Amino acid sequence: MAELGDTMKRVFLYGTLKKDQPNHARMAAGLQSEDCVFEGIGETQTRYPLIVDPLFNIPFLLGAPNHPKALNVEGEVYSVSEKMLKNLDELERHPTFYTRQEIPVQLNGRTQVTWCYLLQNFREDFLQRPALRTYDSKDYPEFLGGSHKPPTEEERQKFIAYAKGTA
């Protein structure tokens, strides 16, 4: 695999941005505009708890590496432009909600350093949720309360406070 140029960064996606998931249209638009390139299926080298919250059924990769419930998580790796990375940062509300952090991912038989959006400072009871190796929204038909649309800003703020344990 060719090395990335200065303008493209690798991102590991584990949830709703993956192919056939509710938010993949953002990545599909990036593929069409050439702001991103699909590189393949990868797996985290470090184990993390990937959980689905019970309120909106949204997946979170918890910033708790090697926690006893953690697993090597499977996801998609994309090379993205700075423009696309900024769009992802806005979607994931980095750094106030998710934190974008570099992690090692196994991709095509090699270890690659990728950006990943982790939830830090989360509710303690999230660590009691079952951990997953991979996420598929089809297993959670009530994604975003069944609406499959982004919540309002007020709902988003309430959800962030809930997930961070500050509500």
How much is the average pLDDT of 10-24?
A: 95
How much is the average pLDDT of 69-85?
A: 97
Please check whether residue 120 is in contact with residue 96, taking contact to mean a CB–CB distance below 8 angstroms. Answer: no
pLDDT band at 136, cuts 50/70/90? very high
Counted domains in the chain: 1
Active site residues: 92
Does a structural domain hold residue 1? no
Q: How far is CA 68 from CA 92, 95, 130, 131, in A?
A: 26, 26, 11, 10
Does a structural domain hold residue 87? yes
Q: Which domain holds residue 151?
A: 8-164
Does a structural domain hold residue 3? no
Does a structural domain hold residue 2? no
Does a structural domain hold residue 51? yes
Instruction: Indicate whether 4 pLDDT > 60.
Output: no
pLDDT of residue 140: 79
pTM for this prediction: 0.90
Strand ranges, E, within 53-109: 59-61, 74-81, 98-107
Cross-strand partners of 114? 103
Does a structural domain hold residue 65? yes
pLDDT of residue 2: 37
140: domain CATH number is 3.10.490.10
Tens digits of per-residue pLDDT, 88-129? 999 999 999 999 999 999 999 999 999 999 999 999 999 999
Q: Output the six-digit token pair for 90.
A: 């806005």
Q: How many Å apart are CA 43 and CA 136, to the nearest integer?
A: 15
How much is the average pLDDT of 59-74?
A: 97
pLDDT band at 145, cuts 50/70/90? low
